[in-house]
Chain A
Amino acid sequence: MRKLTVRYFIEGEGRIDLQLRLFAGAGGLDKEIKYGEINRPGLALAGFFDYFAYDRIQIFGQGETAFMNQLSCEQKMKTYSDFFSYDLLCCIFTHDYVPDKLFLEFAEKKNVPIFLSKRGTTRFITLFVHVIDEIFAEQVTLHATLVDVFGVGVLLTGKSGVGKSETALELIERGHRLVADDMVIVKKIDESLLMGAGSEILKHHIEIRGIGIVNVREIFGIRSVRNRKRIEMVILLEEWDSAKEYDRLGLDDKKYSILDIEVPYITVPVRPGRNIPIIIETAALNQRLKKIGINSARELDEKIKKWIMTEGQK
Chain B
Amino acid sequence: MVEKDVIVNSDAGIHARPAMMIVREAMKYPCDVMLIKDSVEADAKSIMSVLGLAIISGSKLTIRAHGEGETELVDYLINLIEKDFRV
Closest to B54 in A: A201
Contact in complex: B47, A183 (CB < 8 Å): no
Residue A206 CB within 8 A of the other chain: yes
Q: How far is the CA of A143 from the CA of B43 in the complex (A)?
A: 6
Set of chain A residues within 8 Å of B52, measured between Cβ atoms: 141, 182-183, 199, 201-202
Contact in complex: A143, B47 (CB < 8 Å): no
With A201-B54, A213-B16 in contact, do A161 and B45 touch (Cβ < 8 Å)? yes
CB distance from A59 to the nearest CB of B (A): 32
Contact in complex: A213, B27 (CB < 8 Å): no
Residue B10 CB within 8 A of the other chain: no
Residue A21 CB within 8 A of the other chain: no
Within 8 A of B (CB), among A127-170: 141, 143, 160-161
With A201-B51, A201-B54, A202-B52 in contact, do A141 and B40 touch (Cβ < 8 Å)? yes
- Chain B interfacial residues counted at CB < 8 A: 15
With A160-B27, A161-B27 in contact, do A182 and B49 touch (Cβ < 8 Å)? yes
Set of chain A residues within 8 Å of B38, measured between Cβ atoms: 2
Residue B7 CB within 8 A of the other chain: no
Contact in complex: A213, B47 (CB < 8 Å): yes
- A-B contacts counted at CB < 8 A amount to 44
Residue A205 CB within 8 A of the other chain: yes
CB distance from A207 to the nearest CB of B (A): 5
Residue B42 CB within 8 A of the other chain: yes
Q: How far is the CA of A128 from the CA of B64 in the complex (A)?
A: 39
With A143-B43, A160-B43 in contact, do A181 and B48 touch (Cβ < 8 Å)? yes
Set of chain B residues within 8 Å of A183, measured between Cβ atoms: 42, 46, 48-49, 52
Contact in complex: A182, B46 (CB < 8 Å): yes
Contact in complex: B51, A143 (CB < 8 Å): no
Mark each residue of chain B from 26 to 68: 1 if its CB lies under 8 Å from any CB of chain A, else 0: 0100000000001011110111110110100000000000000
CB distance from B60 to the nearest CB of A (A): 15
Q: How far is the CA of A196 from the CA of B24 in the complex (A)?
A: 28
Set of chain A residues within 8 Å of B49, measured between Cβ atoms: 143, 182-183
Set of chain B residues within 8 Å of A161, measured between Cβ atoms: 27, 45
Contact in complex: A143, B54 (CB < 8 Å): no
Residue with the highest number of chain B CB atoms closer than 10 Å, among A182, A201, A206, A207: A182
Q: How far is the CA of A2 from the CA of B40 in the complex (A)?
A: 11
Contact in complex: B48, A141 (CB < 8 Å): no
Closest to B39 in A: A1
CB distance from B17 to the nearest CB of A (A): 12
Closest to B16 in A: A213
With A160-B27, A202-B51 in contact, do A143 and B46 touch (Cβ < 8 Å)? yes
Closest to B34 in A: A143
A residues sitting closer than 8 Å to B (CB atoms) are 2, 141, 143, 160-161, 181-183, 199, 201-202, 205-207, 213
B residues sitting closer than 8 Å to A (CB atoms) are 16, 27, 38, 40-43, 45-49, 51-52, 54
Identify the 8 closest CB pairs spanning chains A and B, nearest first: A182-B48, A160-B45, A183-B52, A143-B43, A199-B52, A202-B52, A182-B46, A141-B40
Pairs across A and B, CB under 8 Å, 6 listed = A143-B43, A161-B27, A202-B51, A205-B48, A207-B46, A213-B48
